[in-house]
Amino acid sequence: MSTNPNNAAPVAKLKIAKYWAASCGGCDISLLEIGPNLLELIKIADVVFWPCAADFKYEDVRNYPDGYIDLCFYNGGIRNSEQEEVARLLRRKSKSLIAYGQCAVDGGIPALANLKTVKGIFNASYHDNPSIDNPAGVEPQPVTPSEYGDLEIPRFYPQVLRLKDVVPVDYEIPGCPPQSDRVWEAILALAGGQVPLQNRNVKVACYDKAVCDECKLEKRNVRIKEFKRVHTSIPEPGWCLLEQGYLCVGPATRSGCGALCPAAGMPCEGCYGPAGDVVDQGTAMVSAIASMLDARTEEQAQELIDQIADPTGTFYRFTLASSHLKARK
Amino acid sequence: MSEPANTAPADPRPAAGPNWQPRIIGFLCYWCSYTGADMAGTARMKYPPNVDIIRVMCSGRIDPELVTTAFARGADGVLVCGCHIGDCHYITGNHKTMARMPLLKRILLDMGIEPERFRHEWVSAAEGEKFSKLVAELTEQVRRLGPLDWPGLMRARGVGHGMDLKAWGE
């Protein structure tokens, strides 16, 4: 075995795995973004499973002994039965299972589909969209009989789940995608034995404070007079975007990114998930926004709130599966 | 780490089924609404016993998260009451409530929670009668809609197995 029982530094080369579930693939790219450090990574670790980058089969993983993989990075949420099956398999085969990226940690963008029913999603994907040509009205079926026996495809789940909803997770690396510098620090800490391989949902490669803490824009203590959107007006440089009326989710969002978006004039979208001590990013944002409105009467408040185009989609853009309610009824 | 385990004792009241009774959580501010509810009690006004009242110092302290948590943990309805605008003991505490609750309503609507399950009203210390009528009305609305049972819904969809302590070998 490559580690001693006390989770100290591995004595042999690390074995790492990476898997891709309900996500866009940006997380795989973000690991490559560590650049020249990739050569360092190859020095200390062997890749034993990474479908995006190398040709491994599920069968290979099944043949590994339990606990064979040291660090397993799992990116993507759980949208279907295949992803859950592989999550359980990798949990069994890995010493340390790491939820990598916002989809695995909090559901991410795919979890926004939790605001729709399965029927609604299937209608949009196979029937209603103008670009769809499906005159027979065919929908994928979990089991299709054929002359060679029943053909099965993964079952579509009623809602997107987080990785930790189906298996215990040791570490979570938030971000969409996680910043490569932070990720490299986390990998070194895990590989070097500074932190134990086993833990419980501990967030690494990020900070506890909010994005506002890292943001350089100036606060002028002005209340919001109207809501604006980036495609209709241009923000004044150097001034807090939220005070200008752009829906910046920074106050409720975990830092670690270096506040890159506000520095470039784009409001924070909340991709690092809820800040430390915040559980529900969306309601934290409702709380923050509502206390900043320039409204003296209920009518004025209502008028301002009506200007917000899509509060649920904006405040829960990356964390719907982690919110208290998690999905539509 | 960020998500506290639900250690609350099991509620003996059924979340669904023939013996179901609406379970409504009421967040009431100390200075006006709670005193108003108290007045309804001392005046012996009759109203349904379905609202579990939680007293807070100010309605401005009611984080929208408390409302979504109540629904997520099994409430069938939620009531939020505070002082009338202009009467807040802390001058502008309820100005925050007046903006938070309408914004929260839009989110609840997106989550498929019927608007009748969530009420936000101003109740002064003298409005015991308004409070008792409000509770009666809300209870009746929620009773007509039936049980919400959010925890049962999430369990049925497979949420939370990995968070289960048994999965950690405990």
Q: Note down the domain range covering B161.
A: 24-168
Q: Check whether B11 has a pLDDT greater than 90.
A: no
Q: With cut-offs at 50, 70 and 90, classify the pLDDT of residue B169.
A: very low
Which listed CATH number (3.40.50.700, 3.40.50.880, 3.40.30.10, 3.40.190.10) goes with A14-109+160-203?
Answer: 3.40.50.700
Q: How far is CA A327 from the centre of its chain?
A: 16
Percent above pLDDT 70 for chain A: 97
Nearest CA in chain B to A298: B98
**Cα distance between residue A25 and residue A177, in whole Å:** 9
Query: pLDDT (tens digit, 9 = 90+) per residue, B74-104?
Result: 999 999 999 999 999 999 999 999 999 999 9
Number of domains composing chain B: 1
**Cα distance between residue A231 and residue B127, in whole Å:** 48
Residue of B96, B100, B109 to mutate for A, most A C-beta atoms under 10 A: B100
Indicate the SS3 state at residue A45: strand
Complex-level ipTM: 0.89
Q: Check whether B9 has a pLDDT greater than 80.
A: no
Cβ atoms of B132 and B39 within 8 Å: the answer is: no
Confidence (pLDDT) at B7: 57
CB burial class (10 A; 0-12, 13-18, 19+) of residue A257? buried
Residue B94 domain-assigned?
A: yes
Residue B14 domain-assigned?
A: no
Q: With cut-offs at 50, 70 and 90, classify the pLDDT of residue A169.
A: very high
Selection from A301, A153, A282, A156 nearest residue A225 by Cα: A301
Confidence (pLDDT) at B5: 54
Enumerate the CATH 3.40.50.700 domain ranges in chain A, comma separated: 14-109+160-203
Does B68 contact A326 at a Cβ distance shorter than 8 Å?
no
Count the alpha carbons within 13 Å of B128 in the hemisphere toward its beta carbon. 11
Confidence (pLDDT) at B170: 35
Nearest CA in chain A to B166: A168
Query: pLDDT (tens digit, 9 = 90+) per residue, B117-145?
Result: 999 999 999 999 999 999 999 999 999 99
Cβ atoms of A269 and A242 within 8 Å: the answer is: no
Confidence (pLDDT) at B164: 46
Does B162 contact A167 at a Cβ distance shorter than 8 Å?
yes
Q: Check whether B167 has a pLDDT greater than 50.
A: no
Q: Check whether B66 has a pLDDT greater than 90.
A: yes
Residue A149's region, left for phi above 0, alpha for psi from -120 to 50, else beta, is left
Query: pLDDT (tens digit, 9 = 90+) per residue, A271-325?
Result: 999 999 898 999 999 999 999 999 999 999 999 999 999 999 999 999 999 999 9
Residue from the list B2, B113, B159 with its beta carbon closest to the beta carbon of A329 = B113
A276 to chain B, any CB pair closer than 8 A? The answer is yes
The C-alpha torsion from A75 through A79 and A80 to A83, rounded to 10°, is 10
Q: With cut-offs at 50, 70 and 90, classify the pLDDT of residue B150.
A: very high
How many other C-beta atoms are found inside a 10 Å radius of the C-beta of residue A66?
10
Residue from the list A166, A200, A283 with its beta carbon closest to the beta carbon of B1 = A200
Does A287 contact B100 at a Cβ distance shorter than 8 Å?
yes
A204 to chain B, any CB pair closer than 8 A? The answer is no
Q: What is the mean pLDDT of residues B57-62?
A: 96
Confidence (pLDDT) at A255: 94
Q: Which residues of B touch A302 (CB under 8 A)?
A: 102
Confidence (pLDDT) at A103: 96
Q: Which residues of A touch B65 (CB under 8 A)?
A: 279-280, 283-284, 287, 324
Q: Check whether B12 has a pLDDT greater than 90.
A: no
**Cα distance between residue B147 and residue A186, in whole Å:** 46
Structural tokens at position B93: 């505490």
**Residue B34 CB contacts under 8 Å (≥ 6 apart), including other chains:** B28, B53, B55
Q: What is the mean pLDDT of residues A143-158?
A: 92
Q: What is the CATH number of the domain that holds B105?
A: 3.40.50
Query: pLDDT (tens digit, 9 = 90+) per residue, A206-234?
Result: 999 999 999 999 999 999 999 999 999 99
Q: Say what the pTM is.
A: 0.90
A302 to chain B, any CB pair closer than 8 A? The answer is yes
Indicate the SS3 state at residue A61: helix
Cβ atoms of A80 and A154 within 8 Å: the answer is: yes
